[in-house]
């Protein structure tokens, strides 16, 4: 299927004497490199990209493929969402569970899903490798090829949130100077400007990205933006009933109380609320992590007094 589709696109383009650069234009919809892979049969384009290519070639979608052939299997979507929603905490049992989910996707679906879904899986794999094994191998290549496309979009979708999360995760191990680059500022601005996710399927991913961004803003001591983003995340959590990350949001509020407002008693109270919420949600690991974070933060606060 991939080879046949790629050949049809290449032949139609060459027949009209169009270069790949002419098709891709400013590369906001598809890059030249992505088109090369599609034409060579290495990847399947998403329906959105295929429609874009068909329009550029003045051909109908049916000229290339039956749309039903590229719909995603329900089992694949379930497996992917389990990976996205799984919180690891570097716990070996959870890491093994996620690895088994990846194995099922690679065995049954990876070769047959579209390019954007393959990128989703690649990004999730790179993210997991960093979180579990602190292993940095190919995430920089993914970010170099796809992140800029996300940053010029009007509205962020699933792959964009995953790429931004990977970027923040990749950058988190760098020094403060690295975090203050123009790209990081651009990423943070994009997060703020795309924060209206009432009843949105990407609410969970938005909150997860916001939490990581809050860590950055704390290190940069930009507490005005910190509070703005924290309030947005709390609103998204309530409106979408996305409560899995509620304990972490409460912990981030405790950090704001401690390090910006310097109200140690209210901060301690909020850390306690966060830990209790984690237990109510049945997440004992999060409960313990929050208490450890409180102890660490209080030591830092007292040292800097």
Phi and psi based region of residue 28 (left: phi greater than 0; alpha: psi -120 to 50; beta: remaining): alpha
Tens of pLDDT, residue by residue over 207-235, are: 999 998 998 888 888 899 999 999 999 99
Tens of pLDDT, residues 33-48: 999 999 998 888 877 7
Q: Work out the end-to-end distance of the chain between its first and last CA atoms, rounded to an integer number of angstroms.
A: 65
Which of 51-55, 248-252, 269-273 bottoms out in mean pLDDT, i.e. has the lowest?
Answer: 51-55
- Quote the pTM value: 0.73
Residue 90 has pLDDT above 80, yes or no: no
- From CA 270, how far away is CA 254, in angstroms rounded? 5
CB 135 within 8 A of CB 126: no
Comparison of pLDDT for 65 and 51, the residue scoring more: 51
Asked if the model's pLDDT at residue 70 lies above 70, the reply is no
Q: Kindly state the helix (H) or strand (E) to which residue 59 belongs, with its residue range.
A: none
Q: Is the pLDDT assigned to residue 198 strictly greater than 60?
A: no
Dig out the tokens for 150 from the structure: 């996300």
Per-residue tokens: 11:
């032949």
pLDDT at 119: 87
Please report the pLDDT score of residue 68 as a whole number. 45
Q: Is the pLDDT of residue 6 over 80?
A: yes
Q: Report H helices in the chain.
A: 2-15, 20-24, 32-39, 47-56, 74-85, 92-108, 115-133, 139-151, 158-172, 176-179, 182-193, 203-219, 223-240, 246-259, 264-280, 284-303
Tell me the average pLDDT across 139-160: 85
User: In this model, does residue 64 exceed pLDDT 90?
Assistant: no
- Mean of pLDDT values over 65-72: 58
Nearest-angstrom CA–CA distance, 216 and 229: 12
Span 2-70 CATH architecture: Orthogonal Bundle (1.10)
Q: Which of 39-48, 69-78, 99-108 has the highest mean pLDDT?
A: 99-108
Region 122-149: what's the mean pLDDT?
81
User: pLDDT band for position 276 (50/70/90)?
Assistant: very high
Lowest mean pLDDT among 11-15, 111-115, 238-242: 111-115
As a whole number of angstroms, the distance between CA 1 and CA 4 comes to 5
- Greater confidence (178 vs 97) lies with 97
Please list, in sequence order, all residues whose beta carbon lies within 8 angstroms of the beta carbon of residue 84, skipping any fewer than 6 positions away.
Answer: 124, 162, 204, 205
In contact, 84 and 58? CB cutoff 8 Å = no
pLDDT for residue 67 is more than 50: no
Q: Do 200 and 238 touch, CB atoms closer than 8 A? A: no
Asked if 134 and 170 count as a contact pair (C-beta separation under 8 A), the reply is no
Mean pLDDT of the chain: 86
Please determine, for residue 136, whether its predicted confidence score (pLDDT) is greater than 80: no
Q: Is the pLDDT of residue 176 over 90?
A: no
């Amino acid at each position: 299927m991939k080879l046949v589709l790629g050949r049809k696109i290449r032949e139609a383009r060459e027949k009209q004497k169009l270069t790949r650069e002419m098709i891709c234009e400013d590369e906001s919809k598809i890059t030249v490199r992505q088109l090369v892979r599609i034409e060579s049969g290495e990847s399947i384009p998403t329906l959105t990209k295929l429609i874009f290519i068909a329009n550029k070639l003045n051909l109908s979608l049916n000229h290339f493929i039956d749309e039903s052939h590229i719909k995603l299997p329900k089992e694949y979507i379930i497996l992917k969402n389990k990976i996205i929603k799984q919180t690891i905490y570097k716990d070996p049992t959870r890491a093994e569970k996620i690895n088994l989910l990846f194995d099922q996707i690679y065995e049954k679906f990876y070769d047959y899903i579209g390019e954007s879904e393959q990128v989703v899986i690649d990004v999730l794999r790179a993210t997991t490798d960093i979180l579990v094994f602190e292993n940095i191998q190919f995430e920089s290549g993914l970010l170099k090829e796809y992140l800029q496309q996300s940053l010029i979009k009007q509205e962020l979708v699933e792959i964009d949130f995953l790429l931004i999360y990977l970027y923040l995760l990749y950058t988190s191990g760098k020094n403060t100077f690295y975090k203050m680059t123009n790209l990081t500022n651009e990423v943070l601005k994009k997060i703020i400007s795309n924060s209206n996710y009432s009843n949105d399927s990407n609410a969970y991913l938005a909150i997860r990205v916001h939490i990581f961004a809050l860590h950055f803003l704390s290190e940069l001591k930009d507490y005005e933006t910190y509070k703005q983003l924290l309030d947005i995340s709390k609103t998204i959590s309530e409106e979408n009933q996305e409560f899995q990350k509620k304990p972490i949001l409460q912990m981030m509020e405790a950090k704001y109380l401690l390090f910006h407002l310097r109200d140690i008693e209210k901060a301690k109270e909020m850390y306690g609320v966060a830990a209790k919420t984690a237990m109510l949600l049945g997440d004992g690991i999060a409960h313990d992590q929050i208490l450890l974070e409180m102890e660490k933060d209080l030591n830092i606060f007292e040292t800097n007094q």
